[in-house]
C-alpha cells in the first residue's frame, strides 16, 4: 500500500477534477453522494492524509477550536465535551480544552492565551463569579472584533452573541404541566439561588398560570450555596404540610423532600439523560436532556461561523422532556448512591 498520495493523483485515478476530490472529501453537497463515496474509498485505499500545515496556511486558519468550561470532571461538561470533540473530528478540527476552575482571572488569561492565533473560534461557559461581577468585557471586546464565540448558557442576555443553552423555563413548565395532569394543586419549587433561578421561576409561573393549579397555592424555596440544604427544606416544609407536588432542580432536593413528607407527594426532578434516569430513578417523574447534543449543536454553530457559512446571530435551545413515573410511591434509596449523575444549575 503506497502512502502520501495527493489529491491530484486521486483525481487522475478516478477521472475527475482536483476540485471535485477536495469537495468530496469535505462532504460538500455540491458533489453527488455516489461520487463522494467513490472518492472516500479511493482515499482510504491509498491511505490519503491531508497536509494539515499546507491547508492551514492556505485557509489562514489553525483548524483548531478552544473550549473553556469551569470544571472538566463535572459530568455535565464531560458529556458536552464529548459532543464537541465528536463534531469537531467530523470536520477535521482539533480541540483545545481548558478548565477555568471558576476563576474570572484564570478565565481571562486562558481566553487571551488561546486567541493569540492558536484557535479559530471559542466555545465558552463562563464561571458564576464572572457572571455575578459582570467581568466579561474582554469577551464582548473579542466578539466585537469579529472573533467567533459561542456561549453554552443564557445567563448573560446583555451580550449579543451566538449561544446554545438548556431552556430552564421550559424545563420547569414541563414539570408543572406533569404535576397538573396528576391533579396537584399546591406546588413547591425547590431551586438553587443562582443565575438560572429567574428562568426556573418564569417557567414555574407560566405552568401555574396555564393550569388548574392556579386555584391552589404555589411557593418557591431558594437554596443558597452556603445553606444547610436539609435544614432549609425541613424548616420550610414544617409550615407547608398541604403540599401535594414538588419540582426540584436537583435529585438531592427530591430525596430530602420525600424523607420529610411521608404522605403521598408527586415529585418531578431534573436529571440529564433518560438512560441514567431510567436506571437510577425508575419510579420518579423526571426532566431530561442530553449535554452531548448541546456540545454538538454548539460546535456546528461555531464551525459555520469560522468557515463563513453563517453571518446571522444564532440562538439554539436544548429542550427537556418529561418522562412520567409513579413519583408518589418511589423509595428514597433511588437517590442515595448515585448523586454524581445529577446536573446542577
pLDDT band at 164 (very low <50, low <70, confident <90, very high): very high
- What is the rounded average pLDDT of the residues 214-240? 80
pLDDT at 282: 47
The DSSP call for residue 84 is: H
Residues comprising the chain, all counted: 345
Q: Cell 477535521, residue?
A: 92
The arithmetic mean of pLDDT across residues 327-345, rounded, is 32
HSE on the CB side for 342, CA within 13 Å?
20
**From the CB of residue 238, how many other CB atoms can be counted at a distance below 10 Å?**
9
* Per-residue confidence band for 67, with pLDDT thresholds at 50, 70 and 90: very high
Per-residue pLDDT averaged across 323-327, rounded? 60
Element spanning 94, H or E:
strand 94-99
Cβ atoms < 10 Å from Cβ of 252:
20
Secondary structure in 3-state letters for 12-49: HHHCCCHHHHHHHHCCCCCCCHHHHHHHHHHHHHCCCC
- In terms of pTM, does the model score above 0.85? no
What pLDDT, on the 0 to 100 scale, is given for residue 134? 84
pLDDT at residue 208, rounded to an integer: 80
Q: What is the pLDDT, as a whole number, of residue 297?
A: 93
Identify the residue with better confidence: 299 or 345. Answer: 299
Mean pLDDT of the region 312-324: 78
Coil/strand/helix, residue 143 = helix
| pLDDT level of residue 34 (50, 70, 90 thresholds) | very high
Mean pLDDT of the region 183-190: 87
State residue 305 phi and psi, 5-degree precision. -65, -45
Domains in the chain with CATH codes: 7-49 (no CATH), 58-165+292-318 (3.40.50.2300), 168-289+321-341 (3.40.50.2300)
79-91 in b/e burial notation, b at 16+ Cβ within 10 A? bbbebbbebbeee
What was the pLDDT predicted at 52?
54
The Cβ of residue 213 has, within 10 Å, a number of other Cβ atoms equal to 22
- At 50 the three-state DSSP class reads coil
**Following CA atoms 12, 17, 22, 26 in sequence, which dihedral angle do they give, to the nearest 10 degrees?**
-110
Is 107's pLDDT higher than 90?
Answer: yes
Task: Give the dihedral sign, CA 110/115/120/122.
Answer: positive
pLDDT band at 256 (very low <50, low <70, confident <90, very high): confident
Cell 461538561 belongs to: 77
Q: What is the mean pLDDT of residues 217-246?
A: 82
CA dist 73 and 86 (Å) reads 18
Amino acid at each position: 500500500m503506497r502512502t502520501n498520495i495527493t489529491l491530484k493523483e486521486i483525481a487522475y485515478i478516478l477521472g475527475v477534477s482536483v476540485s471535485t476530490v477536495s469537495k468530496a472529501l469535505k462532504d460538500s453537497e455540491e458533489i453527488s453522494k455516489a461520487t463522494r463515496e467513490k472518492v472516500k474509498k479511493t482515499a482510504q485505499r491509498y491511505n490519503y492524509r491531508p497536509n494539515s500545515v499546507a491547508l492551514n496556511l492556505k485557509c489562514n486558519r489553525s483548524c483548531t477550536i478552544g473550549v473553556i468550561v469551569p470544571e472538566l470532571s463535572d459530568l455535565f461538561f464531560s458529556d458536552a465535551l464529548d459532543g464537541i470533540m465528536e463534531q469537531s473530528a467530523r470536520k477535521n478540527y482539533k480541540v483545545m480544552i481548558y478548565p477555568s476552575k471558576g476563576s474570572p482571572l484564570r478565565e481571562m488569561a486562558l481566553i487571551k492565551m488561546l486567541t493569540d492565533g492558536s484557535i479559530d473560534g471559542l466555545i465558552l461557559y463562563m464561571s458564576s463569579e464572572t457572571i455575578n461581577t459582570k467581568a466579561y468585557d474582554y469577551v464582548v471586546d473579542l466578539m466585537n472584533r469579529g472573533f467567533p464565540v459561542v456561549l453554552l448558557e443564557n445567563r448573560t442576555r446583555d451580550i449579543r452573541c451566538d449561544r446554545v443553552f438548556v431552556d430552564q423555563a421550559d424545563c420547569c413548565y414541563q414539570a408543572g404541566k406533569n404535576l397538573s395532569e396528576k391533579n396537584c394543586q399546591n406546588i413547591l419549587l425547590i431551586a438553587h439561588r443562582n443565575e438560572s433561578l429567574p428562568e426556573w421561576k418564569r417557567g414555574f409561573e407560566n405552568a401555574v398560570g396555564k393550569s388548574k393549579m392556579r386555584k391552589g397555592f404555589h411557593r418557591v424555596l431558594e437554596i443558597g450555596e452556603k445553606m444547610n440544604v436539609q435544614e432549609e427544606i425541613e424548616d420550610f416544609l414544617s409550615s407547608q404540610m398541604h403540599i401535594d407536588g414538588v419540582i426540584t432542580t436537583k435529585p438531592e432536593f427530591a430525596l430530602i423532600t420525600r424523607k420529610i413528607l411521608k404522605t403521598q407527594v408527586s415529585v418531578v426532578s431534573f436529571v440529564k439523560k433518560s438512560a441514567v434516569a431510567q436506571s437510577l430513578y425508575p419510579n420518579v417523574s423526571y426532566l431530561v436532556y442530553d449535554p452531548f447534543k448541546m456540545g454538538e449543536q454548539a460546535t456546528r454553530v461555531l464551525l459555520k461561523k469560522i468557515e463563513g457559512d453563517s453571518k446571522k446571530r444564532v440562538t439554539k435551545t436544548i429542550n427537556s422532556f418529561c418522562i412520567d413515573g409513579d413519583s408518589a410511591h418511589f423509595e428514597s434509596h433511588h437517590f442515595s448512591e448515585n448523586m454524581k449523575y445529577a446536573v446542577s444549575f
